[in-house]
Amino acid sequence: MTGSATPRSPLLELDDLKMHFPIRKGAFRQVVGHVKAVDGVSLRVEDGETLGIVGESGCGKSTLARTVLRIYRPTGGEIRYRDRRGGTVDLAALSGPALKDIHRDLRMVFQDPQSSLNPRLPVIDIIGEVLSVNGIVKGRELEHRVADLMRSVGLRPEYMRRYPHAFSGGERQRI
Ligand SMILES: Nc1ncnc2c1ncn2[C@@H]1O[C@H](COP(=O)(O)OP(=O)(O)O)[C@@H](O)[C@H]1O
Ligand SMILES: [Mg+2]
Protein backbone atom coordinates (compact mmCIF):
# COMPACT_ATOMS: atom_id res chain seq x y z
CA MET A 1 0.00 0.00 0.00
CA THR A 2 1.17 3.49 -0.70
CA GLY A 3 0.21 6.86 0.73
CA SER A 4 -0.99 7.61 4.19
CA ALA A 5 -4.51 7.60 5.53
CA THR A 6 -6.08 10.98 6.16
CA PRO A 7 -5.83 11.50 9.91
CA ARG A 8 -9.23 11.36 11.57
CA SER A 9 -10.32 14.55 13.23
CA PRO A 10 -10.58 14.39 17.04
CA LEU A 11 -13.89 13.22 18.50
CA LEU A 12 -14.15 16.47 20.42
CA GLU A 13 -11.98 19.56 20.18
CA LEU A 14 -12.44 22.78 22.11
CA ASP A 15 -10.79 25.87 20.76
CA ASP A 16 -10.48 28.95 23.01
CA LEU A 17 -13.88 28.25 24.60
CA LYS A 18 -15.27 31.04 26.76
CA MET A 19 -18.32 31.30 29.00
CA HIS A 20 -18.65 34.66 30.71
CA PHE A 21 -21.69 35.38 32.89
CA PRO A 22 -22.83 39.00 33.22
CA ILE A 23 -22.97 40.49 36.73
CA ARG A 24 -26.00 42.81 37.03
CA LYS A 25 -26.60 45.45 39.68
CA GLY A 26 -29.17 48.05 40.69
CA ALA A 27 -32.78 48.70 39.77
CA PHE A 28 -32.03 48.67 36.03
CA ARG A 29 -30.09 45.42 36.24
CA GLN A 30 -27.15 47.10 34.59
CA VAL A 31 -24.24 44.88 33.60
CA VAL A 32 -21.34 45.93 35.83
CA GLY A 33 -18.92 43.17 34.97
CA HIS A 34 -18.52 39.51 34.07
CA VAL A 35 -17.67 36.27 35.83
CA LYS A 36 -15.22 34.59 33.48
CA ALA A 37 -16.21 31.05 34.53
CA VAL A 38 -14.56 29.51 31.44
CA ASP A 39 -11.96 31.71 29.80
CA GLY A 40 -10.13 30.32 26.81
CA VAL A 41 -10.16 26.51 27.20
CA SER A 42 -8.64 24.44 24.39
CA LEU A 43 -8.44 20.65 24.52
CA ARG A 44 -9.06 17.55 22.45
CA VAL A 45 -10.51 14.12 23.11
CA GLU A 46 -9.78 11.22 20.76
CA ASP A 47 -11.90 8.06 20.31
CA GLY A 48 -11.89 5.83 23.37
CA GLU A 49 -10.16 8.43 25.51
CA THR A 50 -11.31 9.51 28.96
CA LEU A 51 -10.38 13.01 30.03
CA GLY A 52 -10.48 14.20 33.63
CA ILE A 53 -10.82 17.88 34.50
CA VAL A 54 -9.42 18.66 37.95
CA GLY A 55 -9.47 21.91 39.89
CA GLU A 56 -10.58 23.70 43.03
CA SER A 57 -14.22 24.40 43.72
CA GLY A 58 -15.52 27.31 41.61
CA CYS A 59 -12.78 27.12 38.96
CA GLY A 60 -15.30 26.39 36.19
CA LYS A 61 -15.44 22.60 35.72
CA SER A 62 -19.24 22.33 35.74
CA THR A 63 -19.63 25.40 33.55
CA LEU A 64 -17.20 23.89 31.05
CA ALA A 65 -19.25 20.67 30.88
CA ARG A 66 -22.55 22.56 30.58
CA THR A 67 -21.14 24.76 27.83
CA VAL A 68 -19.87 21.79 25.81
CA LEU A 69 -23.35 20.24 26.06
CA ARG A 70 -24.76 23.61 25.00
CA ILE A 71 -26.90 24.07 28.12
CA TYR A 72 -25.29 27.50 27.80
CA ARG A 73 -24.51 29.43 24.66
CA PRO A 74 -20.77 30.10 24.78
CA THR A 75 -19.46 33.66 24.81
CA GLY A 76 -16.71 32.68 22.40
CA GLY A 77 -14.70 29.86 20.86
CA GLU A 78 -15.50 26.61 19.06
CA ILE A 79 -16.71 23.15 20.10
CA ARG A 80 -15.84 20.88 17.20
CA TYR A 81 -17.55 17.50 17.47
CA ARG A 82 -17.34 14.55 15.04
CA ASP A 83 -20.93 13.37 14.68
CA ARG A 84 -22.39 9.96 13.74
CA ARG A 85 -21.93 10.61 10.03
CA GLY A 86 -18.26 11.37 10.53
CA GLY A 87 -18.64 15.07 9.72
CA THR A 88 -17.39 17.74 12.09
CA VAL A 89 -19.90 20.24 13.48
CA ASP A 90 -19.29 23.32 15.60
CA LEU A 91 -21.67 22.84 18.52
CA ALA A 92 -21.05 26.45 19.57
CA ALA A 93 -22.88 27.62 16.43
CA LEU A 94 -25.83 25.18 16.56
CA SER A 95 -29.38 26.07 17.52
CA GLY A 96 -32.89 24.61 17.42
CA PRO A 97 -33.53 21.05 16.17
CA ALA A 98 -29.86 20.48 15.27
CA LEU A 99 -29.01 20.94 18.94
CA LYS A 100 -31.65 18.41 20.00
CA ASP A 101 -30.08 15.77 17.70
CA ILE A 102 -26.73 16.25 19.39
CA HIS A 103 -28.23 15.36 22.77
CA ARG A 104 -28.76 11.81 21.56
CA ASP A 105 -24.98 11.49 21.66
CA LEU A 106 -23.77 13.85 24.36
CA ARG A 107 -25.05 13.45 27.89
CA MET A 108 -24.23 14.25 31.47
CA VAL A 109 -23.90 11.48 34.04
CA PHE A 110 -24.69 13.25 37.29
CA GLN A 111 -22.76 12.72 40.48
CA ASP A 112 -26.03 12.14 42.29
CA PRO A 113 -28.06 9.88 39.99
CA GLN A 114 -30.78 9.56 42.65
CA SER A 115 -32.29 12.83 41.49
CA SER A 116 -32.43 11.89 37.81
CA LEU A 117 -33.97 8.40 38.17
CA ASN A 118 -37.70 8.07 38.79
CA PRO A 119 -37.91 5.98 42.01
CA ARG A 120 -41.31 4.59 40.96
CA LEU A 121 -40.12 3.05 37.72
CA PRO A 122 -38.27 -0.25 37.32
CA VAL A 123 -34.96 -0.03 35.50
CA ILE A 124 -36.39 -1.57 32.32
CA ASP A 125 -38.83 1.35 32.05
CA ILE A 126 -36.19 3.99 32.85
CA ILE A 127 -33.75 2.78 30.20
CA GLY A 128 -36.58 1.76 27.86
CA GLU A 129 -38.11 5.23 27.92
CA VAL A 130 -34.96 6.79 26.48
CA LEU A 131 -34.89 4.19 23.69
CA SER A 132 -38.56 4.53 22.74
CA VAL A 133 -38.71 8.34 23.02
CA ASN A 134 -35.79 8.59 20.62
CA GLY A 135 -37.47 6.03 18.31
CA ILE A 136 -34.50 3.67 18.59
CA VAL A 137 -36.46 0.51 19.43
CA LYS A 138 -40.04 -0.47 20.25
CA GLY A 139 -42.05 -3.37 21.67
CA ARG A 140 -40.52 -6.78 22.26
CA GLU A 141 -37.12 -5.77 20.95
CA LEU A 142 -36.88 -3.23 23.75
CA GLU A 143 -36.32 -5.80 26.48
CA HIS A 144 -33.43 -7.38 24.55
CA ARG A 145 -31.91 -4.00 23.94
CA VAL A 146 -32.16 -3.00 27.60
CA ALA A 147 -30.52 -6.33 28.58
CA ASP A 148 -27.65 -5.70 26.12
CA LEU A 149 -27.14 -2.18 27.41
CA MET A 150 -27.10 -3.33 31.03
CA ARG A 151 -24.58 -6.07 30.23
CA SER A 152 -22.36 -3.58 28.36
CA VAL A 153 -21.90 -1.52 31.53
CA GLY A 154 -21.52 -4.50 33.89
CA LEU A 155 -25.06 -4.63 35.28
CA ARG A 156 -27.01 -7.89 35.56
CA PRO A 157 -29.93 -7.91 33.11
CA GLU A 158 -31.83 -10.19 35.55
CA TYR A 159 -32.25 -7.09 37.71
CA MET A 160 -34.07 -5.02 35.08
CA ARG A 161 -37.37 -5.26 36.95
CA ARG A 162 -35.88 -3.88 40.13
CA TYR A 163 -36.24 -0.25 41.20
CA PRO A 164 -33.37 2.30 41.42
CA HIS A 165 -33.13 2.05 45.24
CA ALA A 166 -32.06 -1.59 44.89
CA PHE A 167 -28.81 -0.53 43.16
CA SER A 168 -25.62 1.01 44.55
CA GLY A 169 -24.61 4.62 43.77
CA GLY A 170 -22.15 3.56 41.07
CA GLU A 171 -24.69 1.19 39.53
CA ARG A 172 -27.27 3.99 39.45
CA GLN A 173 -24.81 6.21 37.58
CA ARG A 174 -24.45 3.48 34.97
CA ILE A 175 -28.23 3.16 34.71
N1 LIG B 1 -25.22 30.50 35.81
C2 LIG B 1 -24.23 31.22 36.39
N3 LIG B 1 -24.32 32.56 36.47
C4 LIG B 1 -23.32 33.30 37.01
N5 LIG B 1 -22.19 32.78 37.51
C6 LIG B 1 -22.04 31.44 37.46
C7 LIG B 1 -23.05 30.59 36.91
N8 LIG B 1 -22.63 29.30 37.01
C9 LIG B 1 -21.43 29.34 37.59
N10 LIG B 1 -21.06 30.63 37.87
C11 LIG B 1 -19.80 31.05 38.48
O12 LIG B 1 -18.75 30.56 37.66
C13 LIG B 1 -17.66 30.10 38.43
C14 LIG B 1 -17.38 28.63 38.12
O15 LIG B 1 -18.41 27.82 38.68
P16 LIG B 1 -18.51 26.24 38.41
O17 LIG B 1 -18.38 25.99 36.95
O18 LIG B 1 -19.74 25.75 39.09
O19 LIG B 1 -17.19 25.70 39.15
P20 LIG B 1 -16.77 24.20 39.57
O21 LIG B 1 -17.73 23.24 38.93
O22 LIG B 1 -15.36 24.04 39.09
O23 LIG B 1 -16.85 24.16 41.06
C24 LIG B 1 -18.04 30.36 39.89
O25 LIG B 1 -17.48 31.60 40.24
C26 LIG B 1 -19.54 30.44 39.84
O27 LIG B 1 -20.04 31.25 40.87
MG1 LIG C 1 -18.92 21.69 39.76
Q: Which atom of ligand 1 is nearest to the CA of 55?
A: 22
Question: Which ligand number lies closest to the CA of residue 66?
Answer: 1
Domains of the chain: 12-102 (3.40.50.300), 113-174 (no CATH)
Mutate which of 17, 21, 61 for ligand 1 pocket (most atoms within 8 A of beta carbon): 21
Ligand 1 site-directed mutation target among 39, 63, 71, most atoms within 8 Å of CB: 63
pLDDT tens, position by position, 2-57: 555 667 889 999 999 999 999 999 999 999 999 999 999 999 999 999 999 999 99
Model confidence at 106: pLDDT above 80: yes
Residue of minimum CA distance from atom 13 in ligand 1: 37
Percent above pLDDT 70 for the chain: 95
pLDDT at 1 over 60: no
CA of residue 34 to ligand 1 center, whole Å = 11
What is the rounded average pLDDT of the residues 86-107? 88
Rounded to whole angstroms, how far apart are CA atoms 103 and 70? 9
Range ranked top by mean pLDDT from 50-54, 104-108, 128-132: 50-54
pLDDT at 115 over 90: no
pLDDT at 18: 98
Give the closest ligand to the alpha carbon of residue 35: 1
